[in-house]
Amino acid sequence: MREFGYQRAHDINGAVSLLAADPDARYLGGGTNLVDLMKTGVERPALLVDVRELPLDRVEPTADGGLRIGATVTNSDLAVHPEVRRNYPALTQALLAGASGQLRNMATVGGNLLQRTRCGYFTDLSQPCNKRAPGTGCPAVTGEHHNHAVLGASDHCVAVHPSDMGVALTAFDAVVSYESAEGPGEVPLSDFYLPVGDTPHRETALPAGALITHVTLPAAPVAARSRYRKVRERASYAFAIGSVAAALTVEDGRVREARLALGAVASRPWRARAAEAVLVGAPADGATFAAAADAELAAARPLPHNGYKVTLMRNLVVSVLTELAGEDAR
Amino acid sequence: MAPAPSSTSSAITLNINGEKHHLPIDHRTTLLDALRERLDLTGTKKGCDQGQCGACTVLVDQRRVVSCLSLAVAAEGREITTIEGVAEGDELHPVQQAFLDLDGYQCGYCTPGQICSAIAVIEEHAAGWPSAVTDDPGPDAGPPPLTPEEIRERMSGNLCRCGAYVSIVQAVARAAEERSAEERPAGEDAAEGHAAGKHTAEEAAA
The residue-averaged pLDDT of A295-315 equals: 98
Domain end among B67, B85, B103: B85
Q: Using the predicted structure, report yes or no on whether residue A198 has a pLDDT greater than 80.
A: yes
Distance CA A58, CA A77 (A): 9
Q: Is residue B120 a part of any domain in this protein?
A: yes
Facing residues of A215 across strands? A69, A176
The residue among B56, B58, B65 with the most chain A CBs within 10 A of its CB, best to mutate, is B65
Confidence at residue A327, expressed as pLDDT on a 0 to 100 scale: 80
Whether the CA torsion A303, A304, A309, A315 is positive or negative: it is positive
Q: Give percent of chain A above pLDDT 90.
A: 99
Q: Is residue B149 a part of any domain in this protein?
A: yes
Residues B117 and B156 in one domain: yes
Q: Does B54 touch chain A (CB under 8 A)?
A: yes
Q: Does A20 touch chain B (CB under 8 A)?
A: no
The residue-averaged pLDDT of A203-225 equals: 97
Residues B125 and B198 in one domain: yes
Residues B71 and B100 in one domain: no
Residues B102 and B48 in one domain: no
Interface list for B 99-158 with A (CB within 8 A)? 117, 120-121, 124, 127-132, 134, 136, 138-139, 152-158
Confidence at residue B140, expressed as pLDDT on a 0 to 100 scale: 92
Name the residue type at position B47.
Answer: G
CATH number of residue B51's parent domain: 3.10.20.30
Q: Does A236 touch chain B (CB under 8 A)?
A: yes
Q: Does A93 touch chain B (CB under 8 A)?
A: yes
Q: Is residue B4 a part of any domain in this protein?
A: no
Q: How confident is the model over B150-189, as pLDDT tens digits?
A: 999 999 999 999 999 999 999 999 999 999 998 876 554 4
Structural domain range at position B115: 94-205
Chain A nearest-CA residue for B127: A80
Q: Is residue B163 a part of any domain in this protein?
A: yes
The residue among A1, A3, A4, A6 with the most chain B CBs within 10 A of its CB, best to mutate, is A6
Which chain B residues are Cβ-neighbours of A88 within 8 angstroms?
none
Checking ipTM against 0.90, whether it exceeds it is yes
Confidence at residue A308, expressed as pLDDT on a 0 to 100 scale: 98
The residue-averaged pLDDT of B115-122 equals: 98
Q: How confident is the model over A122-176, as pLDDT tens digits?
A: 999 999 999 999 999 999 999 999 999 999 999 999 999 999 999 999 999 999 9
Residue A257: pLDDT band with limits 50, 70, 90: very high
Q: State phi, psi for B22 to the nearest 5 degrees.
A: -100, 130
Half-sphere CA count of A117, side-chain side, radius 13 A = 34
Give the helix/strand (H/E) hosting A215: strand A211-217
Q: Give percent of chain A above pLDDT 70.
A: 99
CATH number of residue B145's parent domain: 1.10.150.120
Q: Across the beta sheet with A211-217, what order do the strands follow?
A: A59-61, A67-70, A211-217, A175-180, A183-188
Q: Is residue B1 a part of any domain in this protein?
A: no
Domain end among B29, B60, B85: B85
Q: Does A111 touch chain B (CB under 8 A)?
A: no
Q: Using the predicted structure, report yes or no on whether residue A288 has a pLDDT greater than 80.
A: yes
Residues B99 and B201 in one domain: yes
Number of domains within chain B: 2
Q: Is residue B58 a part of any domain in this protein?
A: yes
The CA distance from A15 to the nearest CA of chain B, in Å, is 12
Which chain A residues are Cβ-neighbours of B73 within 8 angstroms?
6
Q: Using the predicted structure, report yes or no on whether residue B2 has a pLDDT greater than 90.
A: no
pTM over 0.80: yes
Confidence at residue B186, expressed as pLDDT on a 0 to 100 scale: 59
Residues B195 and B157 in one domain: yes
Residue B97: pLDDT band with limits 50, 70, 90: very high
Distance CA B102, CA B99 (A): 5
Confidence at residue A328, expressed as pLDDT on a 0 to 100 scale: 60
Q: Using the predicted structure, report yes or no on whether residue B190 has a pLDDT greater than 50.
A: no
Residues B108 and B193 in one domain: yes
Q: Using the predicted structure, report yes or no on whether residue B5 has a pLDDT greater than 80.
A: no
CA dihedral A299, A303, A304, A306 (to 10 degrees): -80
Pick A1's closest partner by Cβ from B6, B28, B153: B28
The CA distance from B114 to the nearest CA of chain A, in Å, is 11
Q: Using the predicted structure, report yes or no on whether residue A295 has a pLDDT greater than 80.
A: yes
Which chain B residues are Cβ-neighbours of A80 within 8 angstroms?
127-130, 139
Query: How many interface pairs between A and B have CB atoms less than 8 angstroms apart?
Result: 123
Domain end among B58, B85, B112: B85
Helix (H, G, I), strand (E, B) or coil at A210: coil
Q: Using the predicted structure, report yes or no on whether residue B114 has a pLDDT greater than 80.
A: yes
Residues B106 and B35 in one domain: no
Is the model more confident about A327 or about B151? B151
- Picking from B54, B12, B11, B13, the residue whose alpha carbon sits closest to that of residue B32 is B54
Q: Using the predicted structure, report yes or no on whether residue B85 has a pLDDT greater than 90.
A: yes
Residues B61 and B123 in one domain: no
Domains along the sequence of chain A with CATH: 222-329 (3.30.390.50)
The CA distance from B107 to the nearest CA of chain A, in Å, is 23
Query: Would you say A15 and A54 are in contact if contact means Cβ atoms under 8 Å apart?
Result: yes
Q: Does B11 touch chain A (CB under 8 A)?
A: no
Confidence at residue B184, expressed as pLDDT on a 0 to 100 scale: 72
Confidence at residue B197, expressed as pLDDT on a 0 to 100 scale: 37
Chain B nearest-CA residue for A235: B153
Confidence at residue B6, expressed as pLDDT on a 0 to 100 scale: 60
Q: State phi, psi for A117 to the nearest 5 degrees.
A: -65, 150
Taking CB atoms and an 8 Å limit, are A5 and B153 in contact across chains? no
Q: Is residue B72 a part of any domain in this protein?
A: yes
Residues B41 and B79 in one domain: yes
Query: Would you say A29 and A72 are in contact if contact means Cβ atoms under 8 Å apart?
Result: yes
Residues B33 and B119 in one domain: no
The residue-averaged pLDDT of B51-62 equals: 98
Residues B75 and B174 in one domain: no
Q: Is residue B112 a part of any domain in this protein?
A: yes
The residue-averaged pLDDT of A208-230 equals: 98
Residue B206: pLDDT band with limits 50, 70, 90: very low
Taking CB atoms and an 8 Å limit, are B30 and A96 in contact across chains? no
Q: Using the predicted structure, report yes or no on whether residue B195 has a pLDDT greater than 80.
A: no
